[in-house]
Chains A and B, each alone.
Chain A
Amino acid sequence: MTTKISTDNKLKTGRYLTFSLGNESYGIPVLNVREIIRLCPITPVPRMPTHIKGVINLRGTVIAVLDLRAKFQLALGDYGDRACIIVVQLNGPEGTKTLMGAIVDAVEEVVQLRDDSIEPAPDFGGSPDTQYIMGVTTCTGSVKTLLDIEKIFLDDASITRALPDGISREAARLGTRNATASNVAESNLLATGK
C-alpha cells in the first residue's frame, strides 16, 4: 500500500478525513494522516512565514506545525475548544518520510468517496488560488474542498528542492534570506541608539 498520490490522477476513490476551517469544510486523504492530537503549546520559530506556526514535540520527534488558515489566507482568529492538530506523513524522494502537523478548527468525519463523486477544482480566474485544491465533492449535505495535501506541505517541507528547478530556487531563497537578515540586524542596531 502506498500513500503516494500519483500526480496525473489526483482524483481518487478512497477515504478522506474531513475537517473545518472557519465555516468551510475540507478533506484530505486518510492515507496521509498519521494521527490527530489535541492542540498543545507550540514553540514559535522566529523569522518564519506566518503560516508556519512553530514546532511541537510529538513523542520525542520535533515536527513543524502549519496554520492552514494562514496558509489559505483565511481570517485569523482564536482556536476553539475543538481545534486540533492533524499529523500527516509525507513521502519524500528516496523513501524519506516527513511528519508535519496542521492546525484545523475541528475534525469532522471520515468519508468514503468515489472517483465519480469528485469534481475537478473550479477555476476562479486567479483568486482564490486553486493550486492546492484537488477537487470538490458534495457529501453529507455540504460541499467539501479536497486538498492536495502533499503539495501544501511539500511547499514548506522543502522536499521540492530535489526537483530540477530546485537549485536556483534555493539559491534565490538563500540570497534573500541573507539580505533580510542583515537588513534586520542593521535596523535593530539602529534601534539600539541610546
Chain B
Amino acid sequence: MSNSPSSISAQALAIHSRFGIELAFVVPNEDTGLLPINSFFMELEDLANTDMPELLVKSISKGREWLNETFEGTMTFSEKTITHLNEWHGWFGEALSAWETSKNLPPHPAGWESTGSTPFDSTAESPTAGAHNEVSVEEKAIELNLKEDAELLHEFHSESIDALQSIEQGLLVLEENPSDSGTINSIFRAFHTFKGAAGFLRLIALQDLAHDLESLLDAARQSKIKITTPIVDIILAGSDALKKYTFQIGLQLKGTNAGAPIVVPTSHIIQRVRAALRGDLPPTAPPPPQVDPAVPDPLAEDPAPDPTTSEEPKPHASPSETALKVIPQKRGPLNTIEVNVTHLMPTPTASKEQSAVKEQSSGFVKLDTAKLDALIDLVGELVIAQSMVVQDPSIQNLESRNLARSLRQLSRTTSELQRNAMSLRMVPVRSAFQKMGRLVRDISAQQKKQVQLVLDGEETELDRNIVEKLSDPLVHMIRNAVDHGLESPEERVANGKSPLGTVRLSASHQRGGILIRIQDDGKGLNAKKILAKGIERGLVSPTAELTESEIYNIVFMPGFSTAETITDLSGRGVGMDVVKRNIESLRGKVEIQSVLGKGSTFTILLPLTLAIIDGLMVGIGNDRYIIPTISVRESFRPKVGMVTSIHERGAVVSVRGRQTPVLRLGEFLGTEGIKAKNYEDGIIIVVESGDDMRGILVDELIGKQEVVIKSMGETFKDQHLLAGAAVLGDGSVGLILDVDTLVNL
C-alpha cells in the first residue's frame, strides 16, 4: 500500500470520468449502466481502502447505498437515484480536484444524509461514520435462477468453496498472529471477490454479509480495530454462514430442492459485526437464533464443520465429466486456470461422512497458467525427442520386434499426452456465450422487445485467454444489437417482420482463424445518418467520398459515441471504439455488414495465437510451408492447357466453373530451387478467404499435420504473409502462410 495520494486521486479521477460517460447513458426505469456503475463503485471502494479523505470515502459509501437500493428494488434506476448520482458525480469531481490541490473539500450536498433507507446503514458502509443506531436486519432469502444462471452458479459454487476455505485457513493464521497484515489483506480480498461475485448473481443476502465482513477486515487493515479471538470468532461465524449458503447452492445445482428459497440466519452475525466495528463487542457471543427447520443445516452451530451431523440428502451425484476439461475462470485476480479433476477422484462411497466431504469439493484444481505453458512446451519437446529416437538410424537398423513394439507404444503415449496437454489451454467459447443469454433477457425485458438469442458453435474451442477477453466486447455488441439494432415488436410487425427479433451469436473456425458473428435481423445501419454524424463530429471530412463499409467503420472511431447517439436511432456507437480496441489487442479485427431494414452483422475475426490447426504441408524448393487446411478448397495437379494466361502477365485456372487467379508461390516468396517451372509439374492448391479464391502453385504436397500455432514474436509483427510458425516433428520451425494476404494480394 505505498500509493501516494496523487496516484490515488489520479486513479479516482480516471474512474470518475468513465463514470461520467456511463452516467450519460442512464435512463429512468432502465438498468442501462447499472453493472458498469456498480463496478466503478467497487473500484472506488478499493481505492477508498487506501488513503482517502474521510469525506470522499463517505460519499462513496453513500453512492453504494443508492446503488444497493436499486439492486434490492426494481433493478432499474429511479429518477431520484439518477439525480443523486449526477449530484454525486459533480460533487466527487470537485472534491477530487480540491483534494489534489490540497484545498478543503466541499461539503456534501444537502439531502444526502436523509436517504439512508436501506437496511444497510452507513455504519456498515463506513466504519468511521457517526451513526450508531442499531438496525434490525431481516433474514433475507435468496432464490436461485437455476435455469438461466446454472453455468455461473456452478462456477460461483466452486470458486466460493475455495475462497471460503482459504479464508478459514487465513483466520486460523490470524488468530495465532493477529498483526499479520498480509493475511488480513488476503482475507479482505477474498471477501471482496466473493461479494462481487455474489452481487453479480444477485445473491443479495450473501453479498450483504460478505460486505459486512469485508468492512470489519478493512477496519482491521487500517488498524482501527484489533484482531482478537472474539473478532476471529465473528468472521468465522460469518464465513460459516456463507458456507451454508454455498452448500445449499451446491445442493440445488444437483437438483435437490431446486428453486426453493435459501435462508440462512445471518442477522445475528451482521449485528455482531457492526457492534465490533463500533468497538463495543459483547463479551460473549449472543445465543445463535433458532435455525429454520426447513433448511438442512449441514454445518450445525459449530464453526468447525462436522460432516457427520449433516442431513445428507443424496449421495454425491456421479460426475458426468469424464474428460479432462478446462473451464475458464472469470473472476479473481490470479492468472489461473481450473482443471476439472472429477474423474480423477475415487468414486463416491456409501459412507455418509465421505460423501458429505465430497459435496464440498469442487473437482477443480487451480493452476498457475505459467506452469501450464511450461508443461505444454515440455511435452512438445518430449514429442520431438521421441521422434528423434524413433528415427535414429542406429535404432532403425536394429531388427528387434520387441523394440519396434515398444517404440510404437512410446509414440502412441507421447502423442496422446501431447493432445491432452494441448487441450488444457483450450476452452469452449460456451461460457462467454451463455452469459449473453442473461444479458439479452434483461435488456429485452427492460425495453419490452421480444428477442430470441440463438447460439451456434458454442463448442468451438479457443484459447482461454481469448475467451476471457472476448467477454467485454461481446457484451457491448450484443447490447447494441438488442438495444439499437432490433426494433420494437410493433415496428417489426409494421415492417412485415415477425415481432420476435433474433440475435444470432455464432463461432466457427474459418479463414484460418476463429470467426465470431453477431447477427441481428433488426433495422440495419443507416449509412446516411452515420456519415452525417461523423461529419458533424469532425471525424470525417464533409468532402470525403466513402464506401459503405468505410462509413460503417466510422462507428468504431473514438468520439463517435456520445450521449446524444442513444436517443438517435441510428446510433450504434456506444463504446464501439472500445470494442474495436479490445479486439485489436487480441490481434483480431471487426467487420460490419449491414442491409438497411434487414439487419446487421458484426464479424469478429480472431487470430489463432495458440489454437491448434490442421495444416497442409507443402514444399517449394527446399522450403516447407504450412497452409491452414480450413482455407483450402481443393488441390489438383493441373493438366496441360488447364491454366490460361491473360495478357501474358496473369494466369487463371478454372475451378468449378470459376476463373481463379493463380499465384506462383515459389517466385512470389523468392524461394531458391523451385522444381515446378511449368504449371503441369506442380500442384495447384485453391485457397479461399471470404468469397475470394486463388490458386497457389507449389512443388509438392508433403502431408497433413496438426500443428500448434506459435507467435513469431515482435520481429515479424509487421509482416502479413505469415500467420505464425509451428514446431514440426523434427524440431525445426515451419512457417504458416496467411491465406488472407495471399488471396487479397
Chain A residues with a Cβ under 8 A of chain B: 41, 43-48, 52, 54-57, 59-64, 92, 96, 98-100, 156-159, 170, 173-174, 177, 181-182, 184-186, 188-194
Contact = CB atoms under 8 A, between A and B. Distances in A.
B450 to A, nearest CB: 46
Nearest to A173: B718
Contacts of A48: 716, 719
B733 A188 contact: no
20 contacts: A44-B623, A47-B669, A56-B732, A57-B727, A57-B732, A60-B727, A62-B710, A62-B733, A64-B712, A99-B713, A158-B714, A184-B668, A186-B649, A188-B668, A189-B649, A189-B664, A191-B667, A194-B643, A194-B645, A194-B651
B725 interface: yes
Interface stretch (B232-240, B374-382, B436-444): B374-382
Given A59-B377, A92-B714, A47 B645 contact: no
A174 B718 CA distance: 7
Closest CB pairs A-B (n = 8): A60-B377, A46-B669, A64-B715, A193-B648, A43-B733, A188-B667, A157-B714, A62-B725
B667 to A, nearest CB: 4
Contacts of A191: 664, 667
Contacts of A63: 713
B716 A60 contact: no
B745 A55 contact: no
A45 B716 contact: yes
Interface in B318-368: none
B66 interface: no
B664 A47 contact: no
B679 interface: yes
A48 B722 CA distance: 12
Contacts of A156: 715
Most buried by B among A54, A55, A186: A55
A190 B647 CA distance: 9
B684 interface: no
A188 B667 CA distance: 6
B645 A170 contact: no
Given A55-B733, A193-B645, A62 B670 contact: no
A174 to B, nearest CB: 7
Contacts of B714: 92, 96, 98, 157-159
Contacts of A43: 623, 725, 732-735
B721 A185 contact: no
Contact of B650 (A52, A54, A157, A189): A189
Chain B interface helix/strand/loop/mixed: mixed
Contacts of A59: 377-378, 381
Interface in B28-66: none
Given A41-B732, A182-B745, A184-B668, A61 B710 contact: yes
Contact of B664 (A44, A99, A158, A188): A188
A48 B731 CA distance: 22
Most buried by B among A41, A170, A188: A188
B495 interface: no
Contacts of B648: 190, 193
Given A43-B732, A159-B714, A174-B718, A60 B670 contact: no
A170 to B, nearest CB: 7
Interface string B618-653: 000001000000000000000000010100111100
Contacts of B722: 45
B684 to A, nearest CB: 12
A57 B721 contact: no
Nearest to B730: A41
Given A52-B715, A194-B643, 8 more contacts: A43-B732, A46-B623, A46-B670, A47-B719, A55-B716, A59-B377, A64-B715, A158-B718
Nearest to B662: A192
A119 to B, nearest CB: 32
Chain A interface helix/strand/loop/mixed: mixed
Contacts of A181: 721, 745
Interface string B666-704: 011111000000110000000000000000000000000
B645 A57 contact: no
Contacts of B711: 62
Nearest to B742: A185
A170 B668 CA distance: 23
A156 B725 CA distance: 18
Nearest to B670: A46
B718 A62 contact: no
Contact of B671 (A46, A182, A194): A46
B96 interface: no
Contacts of A192: 645, 649-651, 662, 664, 667
B745 A185 contact: yes
A147 to B, nearest CB: 18
A190 B649 contact: yes
Nearest to A181: B745
Contact of B725 (A55, A170, A177): A55
Contacts of B645: 192-194
A191 B697 CA distance: 14
A61 B664 contact: no
B432 interface: no
B678 A194 contact: yes
B663 interface: yes
A46 B716 CA distance: 11
B717 interface: yes
A158 B734 CA distance: 22
B744 to A, nearest CB: 10
B619 to A, nearest CB: 13
Contacts of A45: 712, 716, 719, 722, 735
B649 A193 contact: yes
Contacts of B662: 192
B381 A60 contact: yes
B716 A64 contact: yes
Contacts of B679: 194
A152 to B, nearest CB: 12
A52 B713 CA distance: 13
Contacts of A64: 712-713, 715-716
B727 A62 contact: yes
B651 A57 contact: no
B649 A60 contact: no
Nearest to A54: B733
Contacts of A177: 718-720
A56 to B, nearest CB: 6
A105 B378 CA distance: 30
A99 B715 CA distance: 10
B718 A47 contact: no
Nearest to A90: B714
B311 to A, nearest CB: 52
Given A45-B722, A177-B718, A62 B713 contact: yes
Given A47-B669, A62-B733, A189 B712 contact: no
Nearest to B625: A46
A92 B716 CA distance: 15
Contacts of B719: 45, 47-48, 177
B379 to A, nearest CB: 9
A190 B267 CA distance: 84
A62 B713 CA distance: 8
A99 B720 CA distance: 21
B715 A100 contact: yes
B731 to A, nearest CB: 6
A166 B663 CA distance: 33
A163 to B, nearest CB: 14
